[in-house]
Amino acid sequence: MVLAALSAMITAAKKKLDFVGTYALALVTAFGGGTIRDVLLDRRPFFWVDRWEYLVVIFVLCVPFVYSRAVGSFARRLVARGEFVDALGLGFFSVVGVELALHAKLPAFVAVLMGVVTATGGGIIRDLVINEIPVVFRHGEALYTTSAFAGAVVYILVQRVHAPSAVVASVIVAVTTRLYSVWSGKGLPRPYWFRTGNFKVPTDEHATRKDPPKA
């Protein structure tokens, strides 16, 4: 969660946001996925209200990040080397979403999607706030949503056989999938419309209108 907040602060710096914008972007990134989950599951109070200390921690981190060049540089180095911690958080957030959905008696596939939303929703909101297509929707990026999905599916399957091992198995699969993708550069297969000529614009759909010939 802290790493997600720091990543959002770095994005805010690139977008030249002020302190308020940086803190707001860090909050929606860190808590966005869990908040969407709580809304969909009708859980109140929201998890970050119960654990309000995280709001204070992110605020305390945000102040030196915004006003100290040294702290900002350190945060960038930390995030750049934090693939394993990021993957670990992805796995655990996915598990939490699945568990809460199952506790609410939702179908297994819905529970899987709830795990994915919990793990990736914050990053999606962050990108939408700064007016960009979310990273998890772009082709060529390392597997993030897919890693959360794989971990959630494994949790569902293992939980039915040996519940105590479900969390460990799920996190291992999510972390392994994510790190393999980051280090190997592998992603999902390219959609067919990325291939030149396979998704042509219909003839004259965007043709420039010409003035009628003069008599």
> Are residues 66 and 19 in contact, defined by beta-carbon separation less than 8 angstroms?
yes
State the Cα–Cα distance between residues 155 and 168, nearest whole angstrom.
Answer: 9
Determine, yes or no, domain membership for 161.
yes
Question: Quick check: is 167 in a domain?
Answer: yes
CB-based contact 90:148 (threshold 8 Å): yes
pLDDT of residue 212: 53
Look at residue 153 in the predicted model and tell me its pLDDT. Answer: 92
Tell me the pLDDT tens digit for each residue of 124-135. Answer: 888 888 888 888
* End-to-end C-alpha distance for the chain, whole angstroms: 71
Query: Residue 149 falls within a domain, yes or no?
Result: yes
In a domain, 210, yes or no: no
Number of domains into which the chain is organized: 1
Which residue, 141, 32, 143, 160, is CA-closest to 97? 32
Residue 20 domain-assigned (yes or no) = yes
Q: Are 10 and 23 in contact (CB under 8 A)?
A: no
Q: Which two tokens stand for residue 98?
A: 């699945």
Following DSSP, what letter does each residue of 161-185 receive, concatenated?
H-GGGHHHHHHHHHHHHHHHHHHH-
Residue 24 lies in a domain: yes
155-165 per-position pLDDT tens digit: 998 888 877 78
Whether 176 is in a domain gets the answer: yes
pLDDT at 81: 67
Q: Which long-range contacts (CB under 8 A, 24 or more apart) does 141-145 make?
A: 141/187, 142/178, 142/181, 142/182, 142/185, 142/187, 143/177, 143/178, 143/181, 143/186, 143/187, 143/188, 144/90, 144/120, 144/178, 145/116, 145/119, 145/120
Contacts 24+ apart (CB under 8 A), 74-79: 75/6, 75/9, 75/10, 76/10, 78/3, 78/6, 79/3, 79/6, 79/7, 79/10
Averaged pLDDT in 10-residue chunks for the chain of 215 residues: 80 86 90 89 86 89 86 74 75 89 90 91 88 82 85 89 83 88 80 62 48 51
Tokens for 4, please give them.
């997600």
The parent domain of residue 151 ranges over 2-188
pLDDT at 205: 46
- 54 occurs within a structural domain: yes
Crossing angle, helix 53-67 and helix 2-14, to 10 degrees? Answer: 40
